Amino acid sequence: MKKISIIGAGNTGATAAHWLAERELADVVLLDVVEGMPQGKGLDMLEAMPIIGRDTHILGTNNYEDTKNSDIIIITAGIARKPGMSREDLLKTNAEIVGKAATETLKHSPNAIFIVLTNPLDTMAYLTKKATGLPRSRIIGQAGILDSARMRAFVALEAGVSVENVQCYVLGGHGDEMVPLTHHSNIAGIPLKEYFPADKLEAIVNRTRKGGGEIVNLLKTGSAYYAPSLACAQMAEAILEDKKLIVPCAAYMDGEYGLKDMYFGVPVMLGAGGMEKIIEYKLDAEEKALFEKSAASVRESHEALKSVVSL
């Protein structure tokens, strides 16, 4: 059985463990600094497995040694956004948490592939790469799958069609400057620009950009976790099963789309080697302008990171 370790047993980490265990993809280790909490959640989940006939083993722990020989490490640890707080407000605290999680797990799992979920997402993926020194194929940020899923949900609601008929692609940084590709996105092959009047489409795009904030404002004491954690599970499945699945993820850019030395949301191919390829779309002038604006915002966050952490 393969092994996945999840660092951070809060709502997102525990729900990721739930999705993964249910799929019987791998044995799961749930690690957190809070004593007893990951153990309790892990045991509760383990006791659920007979009900659904799954032989997944789930272990809750406070000890990094229990993560040894993991195939995949998912980092969700960090403080969640509160109303009025931007992702960048989280930077310093979460940089310390993620930096430790990355270096400690790598000691015990030198061949693992890392999926980073902690916000600010692109910058925490960049930190993980710099802290571990791993090749870019082995560190991927989860953002684009979530943002694209949100857009698909909103399009399906507005159009009154099955989500299965909706394909959406959201690139760029995981924040308010993300770039929904409206002319590549479609309903059963019909581009969204042809399906919706301009004002409707703009409303969908804006709701997608603010999707995380909308949930933060409703919950008041936390942030989204069902969809983000399931997106991590989809990425883990694509890697463990060598699916060659093309999805938007945060990847380390080395010249693609004209970007270098930064993490940014682009279409990638996920397989046994992790991030195996970056797919380059042709962008129209409007998308290119949005893309560059988003890249500038992510770069700022990367520079802010360098001022609070030595890389």
Helix (H) or strand (E) holding 119: none
As to burial, measured by CB atoms within 10 angstroms (0-12 exposed, 13-18 middle, 19+ buried), residue 232 is buried
Say how far apart CA 185 and CA 151 lie, in whole Å.
10
Coil/strand/helix, residue 252: strand
Q: Where are the beta strands (DSSP E) in the chain?
A: 3-7, 27-31, 58-61, 72-75, 113-116, 139-141, 166-167, 170-171, 179-180, 186-187, 190-191, 245-254, 260-271, 274-278
Strands 170-171 and 179-180: antiparallel
SS3 140: strand
Structure tokens belonging to residue 39? 């153990």
H helix or E strand, kind and range, residue 10: none
Q: Residues 57, 108, 174, 183: which is the catalytic one?
A: 174
Q: Which of 309, 305, 298, 252 is nearest to 275 (CA)?
A: 252
| Amino acid letter, residue 157 | L
Picking from 46, 78, 27, 10, the residue whose alpha carbon sits closest to that of residue 236 is 27
Asked if omega into 120 is within 30° of 0 (cis), the reply is yes
Known catalytic membership, residue 184: no
DSSP string, 43-57: HHHHHHHHHHT----
Rounded to whole angstroms, the Cα distance separating 229 from 154 reads 19
CA distances 23 to 44, 53, 56, 59, 112, Å, are 17, 11, 9, 16, 20
Catalytic residues: 174
